[in-house]
Amino acid sequence: MVNYLDGLLDHAARRPRAPALSLPERTLGHGEFAASLGGVSAGLAALDLPKGAVVAVALRDQASILRAVLGVLLGGRVAMPFDPAAPPTDLIGLLGRAGAVAAITEEPAALPPGLRPIAPAGLPAAADPFALRHDGGDDWAQIVISSGTTGPSKAAPATHAQMLERTRSLEPLLGLGRDDRHFALVNLVYSFARHSAVRMLDLGGAVVLRPLPQSVPELIALLRTERVGYTSVTPSHVHTLLEGLGPETDGVGPALPDMKAFSVAGSQLPLADRLAVRRRLTPNLHIHYGSNEGGLITHAGPDELDLAPGCVGRVVPGLDVEVVDDSGARVSAGTVGEVRFRGPQLSAGYLDGSPGFRDGWFYPGDTGWLDRHGLLHLAGRVDDRINSGGQKIYPFEVEAVLGSHPAVAECAVFGVPSRRFQEVVGAAVVLCGSATPAALRAHCREHLAAYKVPVRFLNLERLPRNATGKVLVRQLRADLAPHVG
């Protein structure tokens, strides 16, 4: 039976000196890195933590996070990573339902009560990873905590087989190989960032870990110096990168000409930013849509983005996608409905039985449509759909119009409770020029039906986002609600 780390172990056996982890002070080959994971597994065994034990990981150093998480599951224990800065009250229930018994951390005071702290420095530096490898298969390997942007955080377990499928289903679509290098721009506490790193190791390449530079030009220089061909970022990272490049200059080529796969996941990336990335950073933009419950679910590479620049791509091999109406019936191409998926790489359910999984399908809570090419386009969240006097409004269409105003740098559209209309359309805007609410409404009226035009605006310096770049719509709705009758 498979173990999530079988690719890494294979390279450790056949190419032990090939670079696996590039740190500022030294580079570890695949053999040495695999042995360091064996040290974690051996140390947990010496502490009488049996196979199947759930071990939380609460670390800040990137190399330590990667080593701890992978070392936990190498020997058949279940890793449950979380941010040590997260409030303990948010974690107590999740860790309790998961049955976590210990946590690898350098900050035991940050742990909820009842978890046994394990200092990473106290674990052996190395041990034989092949002797410690667990036949994982359908055994749990990891429990992922969802972001909780649209409700309470939830936890979904994934097996070794599911995690390996999530990693490998994307590999043929990225054009990467064992000579490529991945830079971890996103904190490895997040699952999609770890999957990208392990994907590179599974292919026999190297993961580059460096402190993040203080400026975008320094980051670009680092990526070029380190010959990075693959990185995964969120839309908020993209916005920062493009802004840090400064004004666009005619005749200047992409800043990262050797980047093979610049992967963006986490939430919708606006069309203007997609086009700017392909002009200014690299033509090899890859858009992904996924979830903690299933990994990356769709993929749009350069070919798909040439065909439909605003799509999130085709469903990855091994999964099925449907768009359905409120009764669960499939809708025709081009019709907006609720998105659902099924396939072997999806988790079986949440630990607490929360809704989302029904009749073999996973409902991520998103709306969208499939075009005639089979490419998926997202419209927004199901619970973000606005019901104004019985009229259904999808935020994405209002955001597209509002965002086309030259004075609007960013925007988010959402429903706000109203005594008269049930909900009205509200909008938060980040301006890069001068525009009054009246001017923005007039712009929207030129392109939208009257009932879709925002009634109230929040003018902000920046949109509130969580650590993975998702806009905190609930916060915006709460901020605007007192101003709506």
The domain limits of the chain are 6-168, 202-383, 385-483
Give the whole-angstrom CA distance, residue 297 versus residue 363. 12
Helix (H) or strand (E) holding 174: helix 171-174
pLDDT score for 432: 93
Tell me the DSSP string of 321-339. EEEE-TTS-B--TT--EEE
For 385-483, which CATH class?
Answer: alpha beta
| 380-433 per-position pLDDT tens digit | 888 778 888 778 888 888 998 999 999 999 899 999 887 777 788 999 999 999
Give every CB contact of residue 242 below 8 A, 6+ residues apart in sequence: 273, 276, 277, 280, 281
Burial of 194 (0-12, 13-18, 19+ CB in 10 A): buried
pLDDT score for 150: 47
- Please give the CATH number for the structural domain made up of 6-168: 3.40.50.980
Instruction: Identify residue 102 by its one-letter amino acid code.
Output: A
> Do the first three CATH levels of 202-383 and 385-483 match, i.e. the same topology?
no
pLDDT score for 345: 93
Please report, to the nearest 10 degrees, the dihedral formed by the alpha carbons of residues 456, 461, 466, 471 taken in order: 30
pTM: 0.85
Per-state percent for the chain, helix, strand, coil, to nearest 5? 30, 25, 40
Please report, to the nearest 10 degrees, the dihedral formed by the alpha carbons of residues 7, 12, 14, 17 taken in order: 130
Give the whole-angstrom CA distance, residue 89 versus residue 99. 16
For residue 142, give the 3-state DSSP assignment.
Answer: strand
Give the whole-angstrom CA distance, residue 485 versus residue 177. 58
Helix ranges (DSSP H) in 349-463: 395-403, 437-445
CB 209 within 8 A of CB 63: yes
Q: pLDDT 10s digit of each residue in the chain, 485 long?
A: 999 999 999 999 999 999 999 999 999 999 999 999 999 999 999 999 999 999 999 999 999 999 999 999 999 999 999 888 877 666 778 888 899 999 999 999 878 888 999 999 999 999 999 999 999 999 999 998 875 544 567 889 999 999 999 999 999 999 999 999 999 999 999 888 999 999 999 999 999 999 999 999 999 999 999 999 999 998 889 989 999 998 888 778 899 999 999 999 866 788 889 999 999 999 999 999 998 888 899 999 999 999 999 999 999 999 999 999 989 999 999 999 999 999 999 998 888 888 889 989 999 989 999 999 999 999 888 877 888 877 888 888 899 899 999 999 989 999 988 777 778 899 999 999 999 999 999 999 999 989 999 999 999 999 998 766 778 888 998 888 887 75
CATH superfamily of 202-383: ANL, N-terminal domain (3.40.50.12780)
- Residue 303 has a CB neighbour count (10 Å cut-off) of 8
Burial of 159 (0-12, 13-18, 19+ CB in 10 A): buried
pLDDT score for 396: 84
